[in-house]
Structure 1
Amino acid sequence: MSNITKLLEPTTIEAFSLKTRTAMAPMTRCFADDETGVVNEAIVEYYRKRAEDGIGLIITEGTVISDRAKGNPGVPGIYSPEQVAAWRKVTEAVHQEGGTIIAQIWHVGRLSHSELIKGQQPQAPSAIAANGQVPRFRKPYETPEEMSKEDIKLVVAQYAKAARNAIDAGFDGVEVHGAHGYLIDQFNSAVSNKRTDEYGGDLAQRLTFMKEVLRAVINEIGADRVVIRFSPHKMDDLSYRWDDAEQALQTYIDAFKEVGVKMIHPSMLNFYEEAKDGKNIYEIVREKWEGPIIGVGDLTPESAERALQAGWVDVAAIGRPLIANPDYIQRIKEEKKLVEYEASEHLPLLV
């Protein structure tokens, strides 16, 4: 790995000064107290170690914005004072190691179950059940309640409050999770959004909810501290792709520019998967977007270096290898072989 240079260099993207061009991808670990959503000392040490190693930008596991936003047992929240206080221990530990950490704020929408959300019905843009079962809960997805306009206003406000709570907890910013078939993506997709009001229609119109969330979060904490994650992938349908990737990306990017987004995180399961005309998603995005791009998708140090050298992304996000290798950066610098991630050897993981 002696040719790995750009991945290890420092950089600044908006408000974030990073020790390297690496990011820790958001990975749901289900470490938190299931009843309260409060993180513990194991989580403090988990993130501290990656900051100590030199990971540039740590993006936390999905952190829910309300008790109704939850989709898995043991996920953390960032809506109560107790949750905020517990996260402060994490951010202090990361900052003591010279790291940068942002909270991924999350609402799963219909990808939940009433038994996980205190008897409440899951919410979604339309009353259409997802296919499959809730991960780690092993019960079929229920038919969600179609959100009223009052519901939508409340959830938008919850996103903004979660962003403010994140800053109060010491986070350097937030990532809005708008990918993978969760609530924002449910509004964005014609599969799950059959509304006939201003939140439905063609793709540009279906992005209305996402734009309202982004405006509210940006107004709360500033655009230089906000990342948006989006994707053609859905956790409840891994075969799903956009019909026309280039047109879809143009529509998304137009929406991001309209609301003042500065940093984007397109999310792919395979970074180099062809999207259109031999180009991957990141090549197409770079042609349309001049600001910072975080890239992810089963990257190795070598493939991440290639993407950075090509200029397709500014920061490369690493997932499972960072679970197996808390000393990931040091291993690259010392040209040591990385430990292979083995699911059976680690605590449960969802992406």
Structure 2
Amino acid sequence: MKNRIVMSAMTRNFSPDHVATEKTVNYYEARAAGGAALILTEGIIVHSTADGYVDVPHIQTTEQAQSWRPVVDAVHRAGAKIFCQLWHCGRISHSDFTGGVPPVSSTNQAAAGMNRQNGKPFGTPRALGAEEMPDIYSMFAHSARLALDAGFDGVQVHMGHGYLVDQFFDARVNDRTDRYGGTVENRCRFALELLECVLAAVPKEKVMVRISPSRDMGGIYDWPDLEEMIGHLLPAFRGMGLRMLDISCAAADYFATSGRVVRMARPLWPSCLIGGASLTRAQAEGEVESGLLDLVTWGRSFIANPDFGARLADGRPVKEFDRAMLADLI
């Protein structure tokens, strides 16, 4: 890789037919040419029943996957690598987005609040039966194969930000009494079985996982049993052959959230560790030089500045992100 700068995955809602378009090509190509060494795509839905958003891409069919081939080729021509983020929303959804069927989750309790995607309360989910879980794992494995067939350099399995896998990790959400709920080991079981299926489907060196054990939800929101969860999950990931881990906190303060987790994780994780969230160049260099991070992510800075990577390297000023910038994919 040409540097340690990563463009983080960000939902953009510009795929009305669930496929990549010419605007998608131009958007990612500009960030690759603008200094990103690795691009993590926006979340790409693994199955139509896994959706929860307006106009986001899917990767359930060959046609959907191959629509990304021009994006991948453009990013490669610009000298960068690109991973496909595999996404299942779980209960952060509504039947408006899942073909009329209830969303699925670890629980049958709906998420609190209103769904900004359709202005309605979040849909009441159906708790997955243990016998159904292999079907979910197969969705991810199938999409991973499609992504590599489309030329992606790898896949990132999204296990964070309150989506399906995180709904098993989080004891505030996971109210199960079977082998997928209750104890730390049980709450990690769904993720580990899913990852095992993906690693059996594609080369292990092509797989990354994203987790978000600490983020901002109107205040710092940590996984219950945080240290025990990290202490169980990361060695299990490594034992299965995973070697790339992204510890994400979305737009939260890095040092108050994922930076804390990185410091717990690093002694357990000698392989590639990725994190960030709007760090300054000096802060990012400090995390890398101290051995805490191998690659550093930026998100909204890349929306505001397609050439953010180059600006960061050169020390040039950057535009501040404004939500009005989300109105177009440029």
Into which bin does the TM-score normalised by the smaller protein fall?
Answer: over 0.9
Give structure 1 regions of 4+ aligned residues with deviation exceeding 3 angstroms. Answer: 233-239
Alpha-carbon RMSD across the aligned residues, in angstroms, is 1.9
Q: Aligned letter for 2:137?
A: V
Question: How many pairs were matched up?
Answer: 327
Q: Aligned letter for 2:3?
A: T
Alignment match, 1:37: 18
The Cα offsets for residues 247-289 of structure 1, whole Å up to 9 and x where unpaired, read as 32212212212322111111122221168xxx82212211221
CA contact (8 A) 2:184 2:225 kept: no
- Counterpart selection for 1:62 from 31, 39, 43: 43
2:324 counterpart of 1:341: no
Q: Within 1, Cα distance between the matches of 2:233 and 2:243? A: 13
| Range with greater deviation from structure 2 (196-205 or 92-101) | 196-205
Q: 1:274 to 1:132 in 2, by over 3 A?
A: closer
Instruction: Give the 5 Å matches for 1:1-351.
Output: 18-33=1-16, 36-233=17-214, 239-268=220-249, 269-273=252-256, 280-347=260-327
- Shift of the alpha carbon at 1:218? 1.0
CA contact (8 A) 1:38 1:76 kept: yes
**TM-score (norm: length of structure 2):** 0.94
CA contact (8 A) 1:30 1:348 kept: no
Q: Within 1, Cα distance between the matches of 2:260 and 2:280? A: 16
Q: 1:334 to 1:254 in 2, by over 3 A?
A: closer
CA contact (8 A) 2:157 2:210 kept: yes
Q: Within 2, Cα distance between the matches of 1:79 and 1:274? A: 33
Q: 1:78 to 1:112 in 2, by over 3 A?
A: same
- Shift of the alpha carbon at 1:180? 1.0
- Shift of the alpha carbon at 1:79? 0.7
CA contact (8 A) 1:181 1:234 kept: no
Q: Within 1, Cα distance between the matches of 2:145 and 2:219? A: 33
CA contact (8 A) 2:311 2:317 kept: yes
Q: Within 2, Cα distance between the matches of 1:281 and 1:236? A: 16
Three-state SS of the structure 2 residue aligned to 1:196 is coil
Gaps of 5+ in 1: 1-17
Three-state SS of the structure 2 residue aligned to 1:261 is coil
Q: Aligned letter for 1:336?
A: R
Q: Within 2, Cα distance between the matches of 1:182 and 1:237? A: 17
CA contact (8 A) 2:185 2:232 kept: yes
CA contact (8 A) 1:127 1:144 kept: yes
**TM-score (norm: length of structure 1):** 0.88
Q: Within 2, Cα distance between the matches of 1:264 and 1:30? A: 26
Q: Within 2, Cα distance between the matches of 1:106 and 1:309? A: 32
| Range with greater deviation from structure 2 (309-318 or 193-202) | 193-202
The Cα offsets for residues 32-64 of structure 1, whole Å up to 9 and x where unpaired, read as 12xx31111111111111111221110000000
Q: 1:55 to 1:169 in 2, by over 3 A?
A: same
Q: Within 1, Cα distance between the matches of 2:215 and 2:98? A: 21
Q: Within 1, Cα distance between the matches of 2:323 and 2:186? A: 40
- Shift of the alpha carbon at 1:320? 0.3
Q: Within 1, Cα distance between the matches of 2:88 and 2:218? A: 18
